[in-house]
Chain A
Amino acid sequence: MNLYKYAAPATFYPLAASLWPWFAGIAAVLAMAGLYMGFFVAPTDFQQGEVYRVIFIHVPAAWMGMFIYLVMAGYGVMALAFNTRLSAMMMQALAPTGAMFTALALWTGALWGKPTWGTYWVWDARMTSTLILLFLYIGFMALNNAIEDRRRADKASALLAIVGSINIPIIYFSVKWWNTLHQGMSVSPTSESKMASIMLWAMLTMTLACWMYSIAVALVRVRAIIAEREAGADWLQGSKL
């Protein structure tokens, strides 16, 4: 199979249509399973009581916010290096979902912070850098909308995505590099988890659900973007969204 063939919008368009329902379906099943584990199987936390259950969406949202930005930057590299139209479109397709997850990470974090730390917000390194991430997403979308010329808009936003990705390791390691009110890493690739395993599994299941959801949404959105940009192209006539 020639994978490069799918880098063309005309071939990716129908492929995305056949793929997204699968990702959406898996996302729904995983979300059900994750919520069930998170609310009915995972026990009450001995320190925080019930409010810790916010973790089951807070951490997935924060991870997705960071991860989607990295994927966007990756597409940005491809868009600049190979000048592929689909990479630029994927970048645009991911940005709103990444912004949404980042905003949700901040929102759920604030609601979790109030009862556990006594405040909705402090300007500590983790929270401030996450807020900057949200501004980067918003800036990315605004920049793309502000430039009339399609190719220039793609180039400029690709550059912003790449340069902005420097913020991701800053967010990730902020709890190590600075003294933050935000707690340190409960889960890291290099050390054993500090969470009870059922809590960890519920959180990972929710993360995977968010991941599948993001892929489904990005596939649908990239189809809309293809249709918007290639409006009038011969191959698009007669094909249905």
Chain B
Amino acid sequence: MNWAEFFSMGGRGFYVWGSFGVFALAIVIEVVLLRQRVRRAAAGSGEGQS
């Protein structure tokens, strides 16, 4: 199997990669947002504000 064939997914590439791509993107977004929240929380607790 070559790579072009792999990415075409038997002509269903849009549906397969649209699923896996958005899935991966969602996880990246969640991790980024979570890191921001952790930083904000750390800054807040360090200064003793609520």
Tell me the A residues contacting B by CB distance below 8 Å: 39, 44, 49-51, 53-54, 57-58, 61, 96-97, 100, 103-104, 107-108, 111-112, 114-115, 213, 217, 220-221, 223-225, 227-228, 230-232, 236-237, 240-241
Tell me the B residues contacting A by CB distance below 8 Å: 6, 9-10, 12, 14-16, 18-20, 22-23, 26-27, 30-31, 34, 37-42, 44-46, 48-50
Q: Are B15's CB and A51's CB within 8 A?
A: yes
Residue of A nearest to B9 (CB): A50
Q: Are A232's CB and B15's CB within 8 A?
A: no
Contacts of A49 in B (CB 8 A): 10, 12
Known: A100-B30, A227-B45, A231-B49. A241 touches B38 (CB 8 A): yes
Q: Are B48's CB and A53's CB within 8 A?
A: no
Q: Are B15's CB and A115's CB within 8 A?
A: yes
Q: Are A227's CB and B16's CB within 8 A?
A: no
Report the Cα distance A241→B39, complex, angstroms: 8
Number of A-B contacts (CB under 8 A): 93
Q: Are B16's CB and A224's CB within 8 A?
A: no
Q: Are B44's CB and A221's CB within 8 A?
A: no
Which one of A96, A97, A223, A237 contacts B38 once the chains associate, using CB atoms below 8 Å?
Answer: A223
22 contacts between A and B (CB under 8 A): A39-B6, A44-B10, A49-B10, A49-B12, A50-B10, A53-B16, A54-B16, A54-B19, A57-B19, A104-B22, A112-B19, A115-B12, A217-B34, A223-B41, A228-B41, A231-B44, A231-B50, A232-B48, A237-B45, A237-B46, A241-B42, A241-B45
**Consensus secondary structure, chain B interface:** helix
Contacts of A57 in B (CB 8 A): 19-20, 23
Residue of B nearest to A39 (CB): B6
Residue of A nearest to B13 (CB): A50
Q: Are B26's CB and A224's CB within 8 A?
A: no
Contacts of B34 in A (CB 8 A): 217, 220-221, 224
Contacts of A217 in B (CB 8 A): 30-31, 34
Query: Least Cβ distance of B29 to chain A in Å?
Result: 8
